[in-house]
Amino acid sequence: MRTTSSRLTYQNPWMRVREDVIERDDGSAGLYGVVERPDFALVIPAERSGFWLVEQFRYPLGRRCWEFPQGTWGEGKDGSAEELARVELAEETGIRAGELRRLGHLDLAPGIMTQGFDVWLATDLTAGPTAREATEADMLSAFVPETDLRAMIADGRFTDGPSLAAFSLLFLDRG
Strand segments (E) across the chain:
2-11, 16-23, 29-36, 40-47, 50-58, 63-67, 70-71, 96-107, 116-126, 140-145
Which residue type occupies 71?
G
- Spatial CB neighbours of 94, under 8 Å, sequence gap ≥ 6: 127, 128, 129, 130, 141
Summarize pLDDT for 92-102 with one digit per residue, the tens: 999 999 999 99
Summarize pLDDT for 9-62 with one digit per residue, the tens: 999 999 999 999 999 999 999 999 999 999 999 999 999 999 999 999 999 999
Question: Is 114 strand, coil or helix?
Answer: coil
- 3-state SS of 48-60 is CCEEEEEEEEECC
The pLDDT-based confidence of 76 (bands split at 50, 70, 90) is confident
What does pTM read for this prediction?
Answer: 0.93
Summarize pLDDT for 154-170 with one digit per residue, the tens: 999 999 999 999 999 99
Distance CA 14, CA 11 (A): 8
Summarize pLDDT for 114-139 with one digit per residue, the tens: 999 999 999 999 999 888 888 888 99
- Spatial CB neighbours of 105, under 8 Å, sequence gap ≥ 6: 116, 117, 118, 119
Q: How far apart are the first and last CA of the chain?
A: 39
